[in-house]
Structure formats: structure tokens, C-alpha cells
Amino acid sequence: MTRNAQAGLVATVVLGLIAGSCGGARTVKFGAVLPLTGQWQLYGEPIRKGLELAYEQAKDDPNAEFAFELDIRDSESRAPHAAEQLEAVYDAGVLAAVGGVTSDEALAMVPVMDEADRVLLSPSASSPKLTGISSNFYRIYPSDFREGAKMGNFAAQTLGLNKAVILAAESNYALGVQDVFKSEFERYGGEVAAVIEYPVGHTEFDDDVTKALSHDPEAVYVADYAFEIASIVKELRQRGFRGRILTTHAFAAPGILDEVGGAAEGILLTRTIFDVGSSDPPVKSFVDAYKAKYREEPDAFAAHGYDAFKVLQEALKQGGTAARDFWKGMRQVKIVGASGLIQFDEKGDVGQFPRVYQVSDGKLIDYEKYVEIKKKELQDRLEQLRREAEAARRAAQAGGS
């Protein structure tokens, strides 16, 4: 299927769901501009699935006050095209839009948003440049300031690392997060021996990795998107690097751990809390509904897509259908979603804090839980050795008598 045909199919499927099932309820139209094709599709697709799931639940609610429509457009993973598509959905009469999956897309969309004076809610953009950029812009993923700071602090204080090298793309996202990591790592006594930057879309990392390893680092911090991180990880492992590989939530994209395979083992990354096995009602309800619809487990990106629609619903409830009333509703949003507590500060940022996860046996596990598991394994092993030694001692005594 061609890219345009795929995008057209998505729009047809989504808009085909807009039957007037809510009787005489007032109709409210929301929009979304997501990367459904191109290099960022691996983030856009799970977000789309989560968004559509929440939309269908709202549409099928017999007690709904509003009848919803959802107009989804493909950004094609191109920031300028994302801006064009946002203008198109605003022109189509949407009250607010979900978009800016990547920081570059979000930054390109902000001027369009302000020109239309409508709300734009990003499910996943995290550049610090977006903090307070406009009173119309909100995001439900925390700023890279928190993510970079968390890993910088963790690397220096928890892991006790002294020297690191940074490999980062020259993108708004990567430059933002690596700068914060560097500042925080050095604040707690670490040394960043080198910051090696490369152009966006770079695919050959031999020279970059050679430069990084020439500094004999204890850790390499990689700031980029999933495919590039995967390539760098493989190159580092092939070179026999045995130090720590640290990175960001971008590496947690669907399918990436399987692609990298054993080379991913031990990688540490920061991301928001999302546990697919959680018994917390908001998470379990989402996971069960997602698995029933798509026959697969959701990831954190799907959770953020799902919560994005829930936020728009709540803003509508708190505010109203007029643009300025809806804006006021966004300021009053406070919900517990699949991705956690969502409440915006005066700069449009969400008050969530990322945690550190480690790749263990091909899966992401909260680092603190990982440490507890390993500690328990060690205790069990020591207890086994103690019992074996005691059994041997008794056997020796019995033989001597």
C-alpha cells in the first residue's frame, strides 16, 4: 500500500466511525496530526490507536452530553507538513487538536496554533523549548528538563559514574535533553569528556563511536530517536564496549527492543511510569480495552494517545464549546489517566516525573524493581549455598563417626 493510500485509509476508517449515535447531543469536533508514515510512524501509530480507542468509547457512551467527531491527518514525519495539516484541521472547524508527536513537529505547529488561537495538545513532545511557548500549547509528557536531570543525577549518584561521553543528534529534542543531562551529571561531580553531535538523519556511526570510545568513558549517553539509538547501541556492542549505555524514552518505541536483541541488555533509559500489568483501575481498564480491540499489549505511547482524548473530554466538561471557554477548561483539567496524574501548570507542562528503567531479558523493568529482584536472587543463592554447606558438614560428621 502506498503512503498516500495508507493515510487515506486511516482518514476513511476514522471518519467512518462518526455516526450520530448520540441522538440529539451537540457535536464537537476534535482533530489530530500524527506521523502515520515515515520515520516517526513507530511513535505515531500507537498514539493513534490509543486516541481512537478513547474516541470510540466516548462516541459509544449512551450518557454522553456531546457527539464527537475526530479528524486525523498524517504529518508524514515531516515537521513542515505537520504544520500544514494542523492548519487544515483548524480550517475544518475542530475545537482543539492533538499533535506534535516529536518536538520538531510541535515547534513547527506552534505558530499555526497561535494564528488560529486554538488549543494544541501534544501527547509526547518533550523539548524544554516548548515549556511556556504559548498559552495555547499543552503536553502530557514531561519536559526533557526532568528526563535529562533524572538520568544525570542517577548516573552520578546512584551508579557512581565519573566519566561519560554524549552522542546526540542535532535536533531540538536531542540537543535539549543532552544539555540537561550534561549539566546535571557535572553538577554531581561527573565529567562529560566529550559531546559528539551529528546531523539529523545520520545513519553511519562508525566514526562517531570511535571518537566516543577514544575518551575511555564509563558510560555513553545517547540522545536521538529509536532507530538511530539502536544503530549506535549495536555499534558500541560490536566494539566491545562494556560500560553503561544510557538513553531516553525514545528508545522504548514498539519493536525496537526486539530489533536490537541481546545488544540491548542492560541499557538504562528514562520514561514516565506505565506498567501494562498494573492493577490500578485507570491503567487496567485501558489495557484491557486496548487488548480487546487491537489484540496486542499497549505501550506508553498508546497510553499517552488515549489520555490525550480523555484530557480534551475533561476540558470540554470543565469549560465549554467556545474556544476561550475550552481554553479555560484545559487550565482546570485534573484526571488520573492511563499514564498517570494529568494536571497542567501555568506553562502548560504536566506534573509527572520520569523514572529509570533497565532492559532485562528483553523487557523494560523499573530499575528499583530490577535491583530488588537481583537482591532477592542473590539472597536466595546465598541461602542455597549455606544449606549445601550445612548438608556437607553434617555428612562429614556422620562419616567421621
| Boundary of a domain, candidates 271, 300, 326 | 271
Same domain (yes/no): 28, 131: yes
**What's the number of domains the chain is made of?**
3
Predicted pLDDT of residue 394: 80
* pLDDT of the chain, 401 residues: tens digit per residue: 444 444 444 443 444 433 344 445 689 999 999 999 999 999 999 999 999 999 999 999 888 889 999 999 999 999 999 999 999 999 999 999 999 999 999 999 999 999 999 999 999 999 999 999 999 999 999 998 999 999 999 999 999 999 999 999 999 999 999 999 999 999 999 999 999 999 998 889 999 999 999 999 999 999 999 999 999 999 999 999 999 999 999 999 888 999 999 999 999 999 988 888 889 999 999 999 999 999 999 999 999 999 999 999 999 999 999 989 999 999 999 999 999 999 999 999 998 889 999 999 999 999 988 777 777 777 878 878 888 887 877 877 777 65
Q: Residue 65: what pLDDT?
A: 86
Residue 344 lies in a domain: yes
Pairing of strands 244-247, 219-223: parallel
Is 28 among the domain residues?
yes
Q: Are residues 180 and 329 in the same domain?
A: no
Residue labelled with grid coordinates 494529568: 342
Question: Quick one: 265 and 295 in the same domain?
Answer: no
Domain identity same for 305 and 317:
yes
Last residue of a domain, one of 271, 295, 328: 271
pLDDT attached to residue 192: 98
Residues 15 and 59 in one domain: yes
In this structure, is residue 366 part of a structural domain? Answer: no
Answer yes or no: do 193 and 234 share one domain.
yes
Q: Would the pTM count as exceeding 0.85?
A: no
100 and 170 within one domain? no
Q: Do residue 101 and residue 117 come from a single domain? A: yes
Do residues 381 and 257 share a domain? Answer: no
The answer to whether position 363 is within a domain reads no
What's the confidence (pLDDT) of residue 2? Answer: 40
- pLDDT score for 24: 58
Last residue of a domain, one of 245, 271, 297: 271
Per the domain annotation, does 360 fall within a domain?
Answer: no
Do 284 and 303 reside in the same domain of the chain?
yes
What is the per-residue pLDDT for 13? 40
Q: Do the domain assignments include residue 36? A: yes
Show the domain range for 237.
145-271
Question: What pLDDT sits at residue 282?
Answer: 94
Q: Based on the domain organization, do 255 and 294 belong to the same domain?
A: no
Does 66 reside within a domain? yes
Same domain for 312 and 285: yes
Which CATH number is 157's domain given? 3.40.50.2300
209, part of any domain:
yes
